[in-house]
Amino acid sequence: MIKPHGADTLKPLFVYDPEQHHALMQEAENLPSVMISSAAAGNAVMMGGGYFTPLTGFMNVADAMSCAENMRTTSGLFFPVPVVNLIENADAIRGAKRVALRDPNMEGNPVLAIQDVEAIEEFSPEQMETMTQKVYGTTDREHPGVDAFNSAGRICVSGPIQVLHFSYFQDDFPDTFRTAVEIRNEIAERGWNTVVAFQTRNPMHRAHEELCRMAMEQIGADGVVIHMLLGKLKPGDIPAPVRDAAIRKMAEIYFPPNTVMITGYGFDMLYAGPREAVLHALFRQNMGATHFIIGRDHAGVGDYYGPFDAQTIFDTEVPDDALEIEIFRADHTAYSKKLNRVVMMCDAPDHAKEDFVLLSGTKVREMLGRGEAPPQEFSRPEVAEILMDYYQQLNQK
């Protein structure tokens, strides 16, 4: 199986030993505590599950700036984004050696992790601007990722963590949330060697379905891991339970048995385009995938990134030896009326625009809201039915 990033074995930071876990939970009751941001909570969950291997905790200012500017920590470890615990006020934890990190996303704000405090530093406004520009490609606060990053505070609490909870993800998505450890184990149990991963924050339409099939066929994959983001999205995105139901229905009906794993991970979307695409690839290597599909405008939002920036970054900025996972590059896919099947549009040079079934997201949402199923060439009827129910309920509120 493919090796994790920067290590021989996966390094999950969740404390699995029951006695140690109980002792740490008791210790946490007497520690100074701080409410962390939703983004930092997602980072802790991802470190707990092994997705951020080989990191041992949150970065300090020097490492964060180095990752933003060079995609490497000060020690030379390749990492495409800073992984930081930013807070607005550190008065409650000044001088503390260990602190309890509280979850902002669960009722009662339970302890999510314990952190050894190596440093409490403050990013300057100029440093925040540099990190924002390097990671997101813009400093525009209208960008949802930029706004979230710059709303968390400028005080950086760095040091290793011990993760005690997987936030709401394990409770809300028991059939879907999986750690990198669990996915690696299941890949091994299934006997898969060549594995393609597909990232999604949306329901899967025919084009997405066929893209997974194309990738599997072209690389000779044993199976595909559909890996959906379960954390916070921007307003208007379809909530995770609806996406989960739609994707499961599609896979159940249209894929052969033992070719699809449907899983999810607890992380807030950054919408950071190219940089997030590299981070997504790193996640998938750590969970055991050998190939990762990157399509048009991967992890993008609005018009902040070019349609294939998330692919070209692997040629222009990511060193050849940085990651072992291979990238499957996908063009825009659509149903061809001429060929009666979904194709990559770049593979159909003799087609005009009217030869494809093309619908904008806005158009699809309007149709679903009216109870109209999109054309079967665009969306499977069973998937459309689940989405129609959701949008009609939304319109009734």
Write down all domains in the chain, each with its CATH number in brackets: 18-167 (3.10.400.10), 174-265+271-396 (3.40.50.620)
Q: Taking 70 as the threshold, does the pLDDT of residue 231 lie above it?
A: yes
Provide the Cα torsion 183, 167, 198, 65; round to 10°.
-110
Q: Taking 80 as the threshold, does the pLDDT of residue 396 lie above it?
A: no
Q: Comparing C-alpha atoms, which of 302, 363, 291 is closest to residue 330? A: 291
User: CB count, 10 Å around CB of 92?
Assistant: 12
C-alpha distances in Å from residue 9, one per residue of 22, 94, 234, 253, 286: 26, 35, 34, 36, 9
149/146 Cα distance (integer angstroms) = 5
Q: Comparing C-alpha atoms, which of 256, 183, 217 is closest to residue 2? A: 183
Q: How would you label 177-214 residue by residue, b for 16+ Cβ within 10 Å and e otherwise?
A: bbbbbebbebbeeeebeebbbbbbbebbbbbbbbbbeb
Bridge-partner residues for 347, per DSSP?
A: none
The encoded tokens of residue 87 equal: 């807070």
Burial class (CB in 10 A: 0-12, 13-18, 19+), 17: exposed
Q: State the pLDDT at residue 397.
A: 67
Q: Percentage of the chain surpassing pLDDT 70?
A: 99
Beta strand 57-58 with 86-87 is unpaired
164/100 Cα distance (integer angstroms) = 10
Q: Taking 80 as the threshold, does the pLDDT of residue 362 lie above it?
A: no
Tell me the mean pLDDT in the region 351-355.
87
Q: Taking 90 as the threshold, does the pLDDT of residue 48 lie above it?
A: yes
Most confident of 91-95, 123-127, 269-273, 294-298: 123-127
Give catalytic residues, as residue numbers: 201-202
Q: State the pLDDT at residue 205.
A: 86
Tell me the residue type at 252: E
User: CB count, 10 Å around CB of 332?
Assistant: 16
Residue-averaged pLDDT of the chain? 93
CB 272 within 8 A of CB 136: yes
Tell me the mean pLDDT in the region 337-363.
82
Q: Taking 70 as the threshold, does the pLDDT of residue 9 lie above it?
A: yes
197-220 pLDDT, tens digit each: 999 888 888 888 999 999 999 999
Q: State the pLDDT at residue 332.
A: 81
Q: Taking 90 as the threshold, does the pLDDT of residue 134 lie above it?
A: yes
Predicted confidence band of residue 228 (pLDDT cuts 50, 70, 90) = very high
Tell me the mean pLDDT in the region 178-188.
98
Which pTM value belongs to this model? 0.93
Phi, psi torsion values for 87, nearest 5 degrees: -130, 165
The encoded tokens of residue 228 equal: 């959906």
266-290 pLDDT, tens digit each: 999 899 999 999 999 999 999 999 9
Q: Taking 90 as the threshold, does the pLDDT of residue 232 lie above it?
A: no
Q: Taking 80 as the threshold, does the pLDDT of residue 29 lie above it?
A: yes
